[in-house]
Structures are given as structure tokens and as C-alpha cells.
Amino acid sequence: MRPDGVPEFAIVGHPNEGKSSVLSTLAEDDSVRISAIPGETVVCQPFPVVVDGREIIRFIDTPGFQHPREILHQLQNLQGTTDDIIGAFRENNADKQEFGQDVELLLPLTRGAGIIYVVDGSRPVRGVDRAEMEILRLTGLPRMAILNSKEDSTDFLDQWKEEFRKTFNVFRVFNAHRATYAERIALLEALKHIDQDWQKTLDTVIAAFTSDWAQRNRSSAAIITGMLAECLSYTIVRNISDGADEESIKADMRMRYEKNIRKIESRAHQQIRSLFKHNIFNYDLPAQSILHEDLFSESTWKFLGLTRNQQIAAAGLGGAGIAAALDAATLGASFGVFAALGGIAGAGWAAWSSKDLARTRILGMPLGGRELQIGPVRNIQFLYILLDRSLIYYSHIINWAHGRRDYDAGRSKRDRDSARVGYTAQWNSGARDACSAFFKEATGGESSGGTDAERQLKQILVDQLQAISNSEHE
């Protein structure tokens, strides 16, 4: 622990094992330099974690060990001659160029930093690893080992665990590319046990992490409800003169209408992305994600939002007779029912209206032609689709480990064609009532800010977001 009371952890290990990746994920910092070429990190660099303007924990990125056997040998010789063998080693080798990185990486340990030792658990234990672990043991500092497997192989995990037992009182499997929020918290919980003196401070760190996360979820819920209100109430109005080509004007209005709604949605998603500190890299979503489909595509409307029966109920059609009739009418073509209910295929989800301008006068002159309006949204299914897309986006964002710089294809188990993929189909009738009330307000020209319906929907979202955070990703 540092004199300033901020717990400090040095992330150390062999070159190219994933030290910087682990740090990037733990500190939620995508500015950390990561590379497939060993020797990317050459100097120690602190990465503070700041919550509410206060630094609560600090991780130090360090270069990898270059000469672990030689360091160990020197440290063993220094034992008994001084209390500060690390300091003495650094002094003795300060001007030896080949030890430059070794001297550098040991610096935070002279300040009493806790140690997080990172190894790639998908390869076997070697002699140099044992030398490194022995060096760390000789420092006498609180330490934890992390198995970060770069490949899927688990053949060597037991070997590593056995080795760790000799030198570390705490070790964890932690995947820098796939760790979720829940796994980050679990790692911090484990870190508590490296030293009794650190327990209280780390409890404070965990509490700060958790409440910061809850705050981000509340902000996300507000962003989503705001986006919904904006999209649902959105309208475009245009005056058309007598004899104008109404069909092409309508097509043009529809295009602009959809484009602007896409923009409102995408802006909200980007806001969520930066809330979760993904600032630099614009990762691509997994190849099979339904989010690759356009908001207005048939697949989107088929796989997200309310189930067919829920839609029938929401449309007020009710009754087994109607359901059966629809079934018969749409046999073999499940999409048909969405059209029947004013779904995307019928393009009836947005209201068209027109007003005769013949009697409207400006400065005493009668106006000819008509006023055409598209919007607000008419089909409540659209609300659920926007909700599902936001929730799926949120789930990807929070599970994008910051240390991961690309998506490995084919990871997801979620099979888009075998099941519905949205969240809202699971919502109970209380939640759906809140959605209906919110929809009515937003599309009825009433303000949806600060109303009971808005507050209720926000709370439902906060609970849903927390549930997604606590669940295992795909």
C-alpha cells in the first residue's frame, strides 16, 4: 500500500503473456498498449482507477522479466546482507544495459506494491517461470497469480495450480479477453485475501466499483428511455402542392424518417458505449449478432420484441379465435402475422396523416395543396424492438473486455435462427403495462419526461441491466 492510502498493484510476468491485457481489462482502460510482439511494454506505467473524481486503486503495467535466473541468483546472494534485496539488486545493476528492463520492472516492488503475477496458462510451466515465482516470493510482498490463457487449452492448468500453491496464497483463472463485470469483481474479492492489512481498503474499492456500476446502469436506463421517447414521438411534416407526385414524396419522407430514427438510436448506443469507457477502439459486434440487421429489417422484427401471442394481446385482438385464424392465415410463414398486426412488412408501424391546406391562409392568401405527416409510431412492437436492441447492445458493451482488441469469430453460442434473442419477450405483464403507458404518452404528444410511466420503465430497465450484468455472457 502506498503512503497516500491508494492500494497499488504491479502486474508482472514474462514478456508477452498478457500482463497489459489483464491490466487493461481490470482498469477498464483501452488506452493500454497491447501487442502480439513480445517487449511491447518497456517502462512501468501507472493506470489509476478513478471513481467520482477520486483515485481508488492503481495498477502498474511493467515490462516482462528478461533475465529471471540471473536476478534470482543475485537476490539469493544478497540475502542476509541487506533487508532490501530488491533495492540492492537495482542499485548494483543500474548501469548494466542488458538489465534495463529487469531493473525497471522491479521499481514498484521497492515501493511496497502488491504483486499480480500473470502467466499464459495454455502452455506448460518452464524453469524460467519457477525462477520468476521464486523472485516474487523473496520480495515478501502480498501477491496473487493469474492464469490468463491465450489459447483454449486447459491441459496445463493443473500443473500451474500445483506450482502456484508453493509460492502464492491466492490464484485465479482470469481471461483478459473474456472477463465480465462479475468476474472482475470476483477477482478483486480474491485479491482481498492476499493480505489481511489490505482487506478493509479493498472492501472500499469493491464498494466503489459496485456503486459506480449501479450509477452507470441508472444512466443507461435514462439514455434508453430518452431515446425511446424521441423515436416514438418523432414526426416529419411536409407541404405538398396540388399535382405533386405524392408517391415519390412519401417514399422520400419515409426514407428520411427511418434515417433519423436510426440516428437517434445509434446516438443513444454510442452514449452507452462511452459510459462503459470504450473510448478508443470501435470493435465490431460478433458476426452473428442480430444487431447487424437494420432496425427496419424483417429479421429484426421477427426475432426481437414481443412474441406473436403477446403482440396479439397488445393489439387488442385477443381471443383464441383470432389467434387460430392468424395461425391458419400465416401457416408456414411466421412473418405474415407481423404484417397482419401492422408489422414492418405492412409498413404500418408509423402513422401517416394528411391535412388539406386549401382553407389555411397565410397573410390572407389561401394555401393550396396538402400537409403530409409521417409519425408518430403507431405499433407498440416498435418500442419493444428498440428496447431489445438497446439491451443486446448493452450486453455486448459491458462484456467487451477492455484488453480485447478484436472479436474472435464464432465464439457465441447464441443461435439466432433457433430462438428469439430479445429480452423483452420475457417481461411480465406489469412491465408490459408500464411500456403501454409509456408508449401512449410518447406517441400521444404528451411529455414523457418525469411521468409515472417513465419512472416505472426506468426502474424496470435498471433491474434488467443489473440482471444482465450479473449473468454469464452468452
Ligand X SMILES: Nc1nc2c(ncn2[C@@H]2O[C@H](COP(=O)(O)OP(=O)(O)OP(=O)(O)O)[C@@H](O)[C@H]2O)c(=O)[nH]1
Binding residues for Mg ion (CB under 5 A): 19-20, 40-41
Question: 271-299: buried (b, 16+ CB within 10 Å) or exposed (e) per residue?
Answer: bbbebbebeeeeeebbeebbbebebbeee
Least distance in angstroms from the C-beta of 11 to Mg ion: 8
CA distance 175 to 119: 11
Count, residues near ligand X per rule CB under 6 A: 22
**Nearest-CA neighbor of 429 among 303, 301, 313, 312?**
313
* Closer residue to ligand X in complex, CB, 145/431: 145
The strands making up 236-240's β-sheet, listed across from edge to edge, are: 236-240, 370-377, 350-356
Query: With binding defined as CB under 6 A, does residue 40 bind ligand X?
Result: yes
Cell numbers describing residue 112: 511496497
Query: With binding defined as CB under 6 A, does residue 148 bind ligand X?
Result: yes
- The CA-atom distances, in angstroms, between 454 and each of 32, 155, 169, 234 are 39, 52, 50, 17
Angle among Cα 41, 43, 49 to the nearest 5 degrees reads 85
Query: Per CB under 6 A, which region of 12-20, 233-241, 310-318, 374-382 contacts ligand X?
Result: 12-20
Least distance in angstroms from the C-beta of 409 to Mg ion: 25
Query: With binding defined as CB under 6 A, does residue 17 bind ligand X?
Result: yes
* Closer residue to ligand X in complex, CB, 63/422: 63
Query: With binding defined as CB under 6 A, does residue 38 bind ligand X?
Result: yes
Least distance in angstroms from the C-beta of 307 to Mg ion: 48
DSSP-assigned states of every residue in 137-161: HHHT--EEEEE--SSS--TTHHHHH
Q: Which helix (H) or strand (E) element contains residue 72?
A: helix 68-78
Query: Per CB under 6 A, which region of 9-17, 240-248, 364-372, 448-456 contacts ligand X?
Result: 9-17
Instruction: Name which of residues 48 to 107 contact ligand X (CB under 6 A).
Output: 63-64
Q: Which helix (H) or strand (E) element contains residue 44?
A: none
Least distance in angstroms from the C-beta of 61 to Mg ion: 6
Query: Per CB under 6 A, which region of 35-43, 48-56, 300-308, 442-450 contacts ligand X?
Result: 35-43
* Closer residue to ligand X in complex, CB, 308/402: 402
Q: Which helix (H) or strand (E) element contains residue 284?
A: none
CA distance 17 to 132: 13
Q: Measure CA 255 to chain center.
A: 31
Instruction: Name which of residues 293 to 332 contact ligand X (CB under 6 A).
Output: none
424 within 8 A of 387, measured Cβ to Cβ: yes
Strands (E) in 199-262, as ranges, are 236-240
Query: Per CB under 6 A, which region of 19-27, 195-203, 350-358, 453-461 contacts ligand X?
Result: 19-27
Least distance in angstroms from the C-beta of 284 to Mg ion: 24
Among Mg ion, ligand X, none, partner that 226 touches (CB below 5 to 8 angstroms by kind):
none
Among ligand X, Mg ion, none, partner that 36 touches (CB below 5 to 8 angstroms by kind):
ligand X
Q: Which helix (H) or strand (E) element contains residue 47?
A: strand 45-51
Instruction: Name which of residues 406 to 465 contact ligand X (CB under 6 A).
Output: none
Cell numbers describing residue 56: 481508488
Cell numbers describing residue 304: 426481437
Least distance in angstroms from the C-beta of 422 to ligand X: 30
Least distance in angstroms from the C-beta of 169 to ligand X: 23
Q: Which of 9, 10, 21, 223 binds ligand X (CB under 6 A)?
A: 21
* Closer residue to ligand X in complex, CB, 238/411: 411
Least distance in angstroms from the C-beta of 141 to ligand X: 19
Q: Which helix (H) or strand (E) element contains residue 13?
A: strand 8-13
Query: With binding defined as CB under 6 A, does residue 35 bind ligand X?
Result: yes
* Closer residue to Mg ion in complex, CB, 15/348: 15
Q: What burial class does residue 470 get, using C-beta atoms within 10 Å of its C-beta: 0-12 exposed, 13-18 middle, 19+ buried?
A: exposed
* Closer residue to ligand X in complex, CB, 62/217: 62
* Closer residue to Mg ion in complex, CB, 174/181: 174
* Closer residue to ligand X in complex, CB, 26/453: 26
Query: Per CB under 6 A, which region of 13-21, 301-309, 321-329, 436-444 contacts ligand X?
Result: 13-21
Q: Which of 41, 217, 443, 456 binds ligand X (CB under 6 A)?
A: 41
- CB neighbours of residue 449 within 10 Å: 11
- The CA-atom distances, in angstroms, between 157 and each of 64, 123, 332, 388, 430 are 21, 9, 50, 38, 47
Q: Which of 20, 310, 424, 448 binds ligand X (CB under 6 A)?
A: 20
Query: With binding defined as CB under 6 A, does residue 175 bind ligand X?
Result: yes
| Cα separation of the two ends of the chain | 37
Among Mg ion, ligand X, none, partner that 39 touches (CB below 5 to 8 angstroms by kind):
ligand X
- CB neighbours of residue 163 within 10 Å: 18
Least distance in angstroms from the C-beta of 469 to ligand X: 21
Q: Which of 7, 9, 12, 18 binds ligand X (CB under 6 A)?
A: 18
Instruction: Give the binding site for ligand X (CB under 6 A).
Output: 13, 15-21, 34-36, 38-41, 63-64, 148, 150, 175-177
